[in-house]
Structure 1
Amino acid sequence: MDKEKLETLIKNFKLRNIEVSYFDTLKDAKAEILRIIPADCTIGIGHSSTLQEMNISEVLLERGNIVYDKELGKNKEECKSLKKKALITDWYITGSNAISMDGRIVNVDHSGNRVAAISFGPDNVIIVVGINKVVDSLDEAIKRVKNIASPLNAKRAGYNPPCVTLNRCVDCVSKERVCNSLSIIEGQSNPNRIKLFVVKDNYGF
């Protein structure tokens, strides 16, 4: 991402009370997460292949944080309980399906736990994305969510809605549909509750 584009992104999100930080590597973003989050805080994790690559849950647990990550659940009931507990943590860390240059954050969820936590509950939210998630407009962000992120996430999770085969959204009503909750964050009333970490490389779906 060139300097002018980055400055525009930062400016547009700042107008919406969302703080943007730019990192050369995922390792740098991880180091900043560990720096700003106290070791005695509770932390919720929203499922993200980017966060899995960072191994962030294990690192936070090792240093003493209480971490609620559904991936640590041993069965469906444990996963559900962990997702609920993550909604009222001090900090919530997740990825995003798309962000637009004009300052919108767009996500789609299967069960809705991630979009719920981003919207309300945790006192602080960190969203980590690669530059592949940055698009020019809200329309492009929604298209990305429906036609790129959703088919890939459905396939990863073992679901088989029509988009997995077609590689595009057909607005299905399949029982295996994963895009049940579409969220567009337009801004924040609480300044800098949401911190957006943009990393200089492609990560996740």
Structure 2
Amino acid sequence: MNTERFNKLKENFKNRNIDVKYFDSLDDVKLYLLNTVPLECKVGIGHSGTLQKMNITNLLIQRGNVVYDKELAKNKDESKAIKKEALLSDWYISGSNAVTVDGRIINVDHSGNRVAAITFGPDKVVIVVGVNKVVDTVEEGVKRVKNIAGPLNAKRAGYNPPCVELNKCVDCSSKERVCNYLSIVEGQTDCNRIKLCIVNEECGF
């Protein structure tokens, strides 16, 4: 991501009361998180291939944080309970499906727990995004989450809505669709709540 484009993105998010940080690698983000997230706090994790690649859940647990990550659940009931606990955590760390240069954070969810926590609940939210998810406008962002993130997430989770085979959204009503909740963050009232971390790597989908 070139400097001019990042500076434009950062300024647009600043105008929407959201701070943006730039990192050369996921290792740099990992170090930032471990130095920033307090040891005594409870941390919720929004399911993300990017965060799994960082192994941040295990690193936080190993050092003593209480972590709510649905990937640690043994069954659906436990997964639901963990997702509810994450909504009340002190910090919430998540990936995102798309970020726009004009200053929006766009996500699509299956059950809605991730977009709910990003919107309200945890006192602090850190969103980690690879440069592959940066697009220019909200229209491009929505297109990305529906036609790229949606089909890939469905396939990863073992669902089979039409988009998995077609590699594009057809606005289906399938019971197996994973894009039930579309969220667009356009700003925030508390400038210290959501922090956006842009990583100069291709991460997740």
- Normalising to structure 1: TM-score of the pair? 0.99
Aligned to 1:10: 10
Please report how far the alpha carbon of residue 192 of structure 1 lies from its aligned counterpart in structure 2 after TM superposition.
Answer: 2.7
The equivalent residue for 1:49 is 49
Deviations 1:23-77 (A, max 9, x none): 0010000100011111001000000000000000000001000000000001111
The structure 1 segments of at least 4 consecutive aligned residues displaced by more than 3 Å after TM superposition are none
Aligned mates of 1:106, 1:191 — CA distance in 2: 18
Q: Residue 103 of structure 2 aligns to which amino acid in structure 1?
A: G
Aligned counterpart, 1:146: 146
Give the C-alpha shift of residue 201 in structure 1.
1.1
Unaligned runs of 5+ in 2: none
Structure 1, unpaired ranges of 5+: none
Q: Percent identity?
A: 66
| 2:198 match | 198
SS in 1 for 2:82: helix
The residue type equivalent to 2:52 in the other structure is Q
SS of the residue 2:190 aligns to: coil
Q: How does 1:1-205 map to 2 (within 5 A)?
A: 1-205=1-205
Amino acid at match of 1:126: V
What secondary structure sits across from 1:159 in the alignment? Answer: coil
> How big is the alpha-carbon RMSD for the aligned residues of Structure 1 and Structure 2?
0.5
> How many residues were matched structurally?
205
- Distance in 2 (CA, whole Å) between partners of 1:20 and 1:30 is 16
State the alpha-carbon separation in 2 of the partners of residues 64 and 90 from structure 1: 14
Q: Give per-residue Cα distances to partners, 1:53-103, cap 9 Å, x unaligned.
A: 000000000100000000000111110000000001110000000010010
